Structure 1
Amino acid sequence: MARTALPHDAKAGPTKPEVRSVTLGKLELDDGDHFVEVGSCTGAVTIEAARRAGRVTALERKPERLEATRKNLAANGVEAVELIEGEAPEALPDDADALFLGGSRNYVGVLDHAVETGVDRVVMNVSRLEVAGDAVRAFRERDLFEEVVQLQVSTGYELAGATSFDSDNPVYVIAGGAT
């Protein structure tokens, strides 16, 4: 698979490549799917989803972040993505097969929308422990919950002629979907 280039900053960190791999694996996208990302930011997840899904929609409420998504899509040669500037859940399409929440803003409303519209696969990434616990409860209360995975990624770097590691904050990947 092609590497994802993110030359345009969105004033927020992109989902790390290792986390994107697990996230996309949980979403199990194929060319018949309509994938929707809530909070596209840099577009990192949207770019990789566009390489797998037949139809892709990226929703972002901040115009400057949507522009970063647009520029990063172009930098990766990804064209067929619908970009929506708007707030979730109001601006969400009703025909998503797979939905990714990269942040926790309005996630309860997004989960309600997923239940109402029958989204098959929902994945949410969370970095704060308290939010992760609340989100797992919200998934369970809506009969969406399948699993939560905690990822701890460490990246090697050279130190005095040997390899040492810098660790990233843990990320909780919450996965499920409407049954």
Structure 2
Amino acid sequence: MPRVELPYDAKAGPTKSEVRAVLLGKLALGPSDHFVEVGSCTGAVTIEAARRAGRVTAIERKESRAETTRKNLAANGVDGVEVRVAEAPEGLPDDADALFLGGSRNYEAVLDHAVEAGIETVVMNVSRLEVAGAATEAFRERDLLDDVVQFQVSHGYELAGATSFDSENPVYMLVGGASDGPDAGDAGGAGR
């Protein structure tokens, strides 16, 4: 799989490559899936998803960030992605199979939409502890929560002729999806 190049900056950091690897594993996108990203920013996740899913919609509330998404999609040779400028939950399609929340703005309304639309897989990344706790409760209240993963990535650098590590901010990843009926608990998800 080709690397993601992000020559255009959105003044808000992209989801780190290591975090994207875990995220893509949790999403398990296939060629028939419709993936939606809320808060596409640099487009890093959108680019990776477009290489796996059959259809991709990116939503960004700021036109300047949507333009950054478009430019980075083009720089990576990715086309066919619909980029919408809207403040979620406005602009969210009703036929998504997988949804990623790249930010915490209006997340409760987005989760309500996910439940109403029956979105099978919902993933949210959070870096602030207080938001992680509140978002975990919001997932639970909507019977969406399957898993909470906390991880931290550290990168090595040379220090006095040896290798030391500089750690990134921890990320909390909330994973779940909407139940489709009384047999949904047989799918192996906690609470479903």
* TM-score of the superposed pair, with normalisation by structure 2: 0.92
Deviation at 1:91, TM superposition (A): 1.1
User: Take 2:68 and 2:162, find their aligned partners in 1: how far apart are those partners?
Assistant: 36
Indicate yes or no: 2:11 matched with 1:18. Answer: no
Letter in 2 for 1:15: T
Report the 3-state secondary structure (helix = DSSP H, G, I; strand = E; otherwise coil) of the residue aligned with 2:92: coil
Residue 7 of structure 1: aligned partner: 7
Report the 3-state secondary structure (helix = DSSP H, G, I; strand = E; otherwise coil) of the residue aligned with 2:124: strand
Report the 3-state secondary structure (helix = DSSP H, G, I; strand = E; otherwise coil) of the residue aligned with 1:174: strand
Deviation at 1:73, TM superposition (A): 0.4
Residue 32 of structure 2: aligned partner: 32
User: Take 2:117 and 2:59, find their aligned partners in 1: how far apart are those partners?
Assistant: 17
Aligned residue runs from structure 1 range 1-179, under 5 A = 1-179=1-179
Identity among equivalent pairs (%): 77
User: Take 2:157 and 2:43, find their aligned partners in 1: how far apart are those partners?
Assistant: 26
User: Take 2:57 and 2:63, find their aligned partners in 1: how far apart are those partners?
Assistant: 15
Report the 3-state secondary structure (helix = DSSP H, G, I; strand = E; otherwise coil) of the residue aligned with 1:146: strand
User: Take 2:129 and 2:33, find their aligned partners in 1: how far apart are those partners?
Assistant: 31
User: Take 2:59 and 2:126, find their aligned partners in 1: how far apart are those partners?
Assistant: 18
Letter in 1 for 2:73: L
User: Take 1:20 and 1:161, find their aligned partners in 2: how far apart are those partners?
Assistant: 31
Aligned residues: 179
* TM-score of the superposed pair, with normalisation by structure 1: 0.98
Runs of at least 5 residues in structure 1 that lack an aligned partner in the other structure: none
Runs of at least 5 residues in structure 2 that lack an aligned partner in the other structure: 180-192
User: Take 1:154 and 1:60, find their aligned partners in 2: how far apart are those partners?
Assistant: 29
Aligned-residue CA RMSD (Å): 0.6
